[in-house]
């Protein structure tokens, strides 16, 4: 009888192990490639190794269980991951992998529109002209950088009105965040982007990134700021003139309680201007989203919550409305900001200008400063707590009656806290 139970136990153990082995997906991990020019699959984890193949953008690959490998060079440290792709296995650079398919967007910023060409060549046939303010998606780009009319950039493959072709990045603004483009440029004659300002900030949550302060290049300059529970790293690098994909200045938020790090992958160069300004547990930065394209400077406000970091476009100074037409076209809102330091709230009163350009301005460019008419206005009250950002919005009401007293007693020039 004992022998029978021994055989039964061995049989059951074998059956359970076999069931586990029959499920090949139980421990498999998959990521997606993120490089519009494709990523190289290397035989070994170093740049001098044999290149097996090039894997196109947004390809799903299996991550093999081997630990990551690192190569330490004079100017940087490269992290490698071993993957399986088709019938091949090899190593790829970790920064070119993502847990989701990354989409890439562009917005046309030239008044005369942007030619869509049949081939990536400035002399190629023009299939269509993409108008100012149009926002679209591109899914491939040339590896070589070029200069057209003193503007550096590269060719991007996209589609417009059923035509598939190539456009020049130097006449566009580029981002992985669709809302960022809508808020930065806006579409002339379409105020939908204005109404979307500060809608659902949870959608603007920063992505979690892998970050090791000890793996930063030895020649990079690092500044650190403490803002409980975060340590903010400002990393300043020197990159080659023809490097369109590197990051010159990068800001990383490391949560010292959860151990997680957050960063904005789409920005080429970002600099911390002030922290705890205009509200406690905020960080104000200026940035250039891309190098090889239209160099429009942004300003961003980060909200440091206990378990995540939210972000929104923000200008910390009052502005007068204007409309600009030319090589770079833009709308500036009429803006007045006020702040209540006692309840960590800021108030914004924004007006969207209604500009009426004449034919000369449309043809040769120019700026309309003396705005007489506005399409609509919006009042925003934004309060920051440790757990959330609470936003109240009102349209075409001026300063709402229920916020009148708060607006009158708020300050227009908060003093940043240094704590």
pLDDT higher than threshold 60 for residue 15: no
Tabulate helix, strand, coil % of the chain (nearest 5): 15, 45, 40
Count the neighbouring beta carbons within 10 Å of the beta carbon of residue 393.
15
> Does any domain span residue 73?
yes
User: Among 147-161, 321-335, 340-354, which range has the highest average pLDDT?
Assistant: 340-354
CB contact at 8 A, 51 and 42 = yes
Q: The domain spanning residue 35 has which CATH number?
A: 2.30.30.40
Q: Measuring CA to CA, which residue among 273, 414, 274 is closest to residue 337?
A: 414
More confident residue, 9 or 182: 182
Residues 333 and 298 in one domain: no
pLDDT at residue 310, as a whole number: 95
pLDDT higher than threshold 50 for residue 386: yes
Residues 293 and 260 in one domain: yes
More confident residue, 330 or 130: 130
Domain count, the chain: 4
Per-residue pLDDT reduced to its tens digit, 38-94: 889 999 988 889 999 999 888 999 999 877 887 766 556 778 899 999 999 999 988
Q: In the listed set 65, 98, 131, which residue is the last one of a domain according to the structure? A: 98
pLDDT higher than threshold 50 for residue 385: yes
Q: What residues make up the domain containing 238? A: 209-316
> Does any domain span residue 13?
no
- Among 89-98, 211-220, 281-290, 308-317, name the one with the lowest average pLDDT: 211-220
Q: In percent, how much of the chain has pLDDT > 90?
A: 40
- CB-based contacts of 23, cutoff 8 Å, min separation 6: none
Q: In the listed set 127, 161, 192, which residue is the last one of a domain according to the structure? A: 192
pLDDT at residue 329, as a whole number: 67
> Does any domain span residue 233?
yes
Residues 312 and 323 in one domain: no
> Does any domain span residue 6?
no
DSSP structural state of residue 342: T
Residues 161 and 223 in one domain: no
> Does any domain span residue 324?
yes
Q: In percent, how much of the chain has pLDDT > 70?
A: 83
User: Given pLDDT bands bounded at 50, 70 and 90, which one contains residue 216?
Assistant: confident
Distance separating alpha carbons of residues 413 and 337, to the nearest angstrom: 9
Residues 329 and 275 in one domain: no
More confident residue, 170 or 16: 170
Residues 247 and 154 in one domain: no
pLDDT higher than threshold 80 for residue 10: no
Residues 218 and 295 in one domain: yes
Average confidence (pLDDT) over 111-139: 88
> Does any domain span residue 5?
no
Q: Return the structure tokens found at 149.
A: 């009319």
Helix (H, G, I), strand (E, B) or coil at 235: strand
Per-residue pLDDT reduced to its tens digit, 189-202: 567 778 888 888 88
Residues 257 and 300 in one domain: yes
> Does any domain span residue 237?
yes
Residues 175 and 138 in one domain: yes
Residues 270 and 324 in one domain: no
pLDDT higher than threshold 50 for residue 132: yes
Q: What integer best gives the mean pLDDT of the chain?
A: 83
Q: In the listed set 263, 289, 316, which residue is the last one of a domain according to the structure? A: 316
> Does any domain span residue 67?
yes
pLDDT higher than threshold 60 for residue 136: yes
């Amino acid at each position: 009888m004992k022998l029978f139970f021994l055989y039964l136990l061995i049989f059951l153990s074998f059956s359970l192990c076999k069931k586990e082995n029959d499920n090949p997906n139980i421990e498999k991990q998959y990521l997606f490639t993120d490089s519009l020019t494709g990523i190289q699959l290397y035989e070994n984890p170093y740049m001098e190794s044999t290149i097996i193949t090039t894997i196109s953008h947004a390809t799903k690959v299996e991550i093999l269980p081997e630990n990551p490998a690192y190569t330490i060079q004079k100017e940087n440290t490269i992290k490698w991951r071993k993957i399986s792709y088709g019938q091949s296995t090899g190593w790829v650079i970790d920064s070119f992998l993502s847990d989701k398919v990354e989409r890439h967007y562009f917005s046309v910023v030239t008044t005369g529109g942007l030619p869509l060409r049949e081939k990536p060549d400035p002399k190629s046939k023009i299939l269509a002209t993409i108008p100012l303010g149009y926002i679209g998606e591109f899914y491939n780009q040339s590896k070589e950088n070029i200069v057209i009319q003193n503007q550096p950039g590269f060719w991007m493959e996209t589609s417009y009105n059923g035509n598939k072709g190539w456009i020049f990045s130097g006449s566009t603004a580029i981002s992985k965040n669709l809302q960022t483009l809508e808020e930065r440029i806006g579409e002339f004659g379409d105020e939908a982007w204005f109404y979307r300002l500060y809608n659902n900030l949870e959608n603007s949550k920063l992505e979690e990134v892998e970050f090791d302060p000890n793996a930063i290049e030895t020649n990079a300059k690092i500044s650190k700021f403490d803002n409980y529970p975060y340590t903010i790293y400002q990393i300043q690098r020197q990159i080659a003139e023809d490097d369109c994909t590197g990051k010159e200045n990068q800001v990383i938020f490391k949560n010292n309680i959860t151990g997680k790090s957050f960063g904005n992958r789409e920005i080429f160069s970002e600099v911390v201007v002030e922290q705890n300004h205009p509200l406690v547990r905020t960080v104000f930065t200026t940035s250039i989203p891309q190098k090889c394209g239209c160099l429009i400077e942004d300003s961003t406000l980060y909200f440091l919550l206990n378990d995540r970091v939210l972000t929104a476009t923000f200008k910390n100074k009052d502005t007068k409305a204007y409309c600009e037409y030319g090589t770079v076209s833009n709308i500036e809102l009429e803006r007045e900001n006020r702040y209540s330091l006692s309840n960590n709230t800021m108030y914004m009163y924004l007006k969207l200008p209604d500009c009426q350009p004449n034919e000369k301005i449309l043809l040769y460019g120019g700026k309309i400063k003396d705005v007489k008419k506005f399409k609509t206005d919006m009042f925003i009250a934004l309060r920051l707590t440790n757990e959330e950002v609470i936003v109240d919005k009102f349209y075409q009401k001026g300063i709402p009656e229920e916020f009148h007293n708060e607006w009158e007693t708020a300050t227009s020039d908060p003093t940043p806290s240094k704590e």
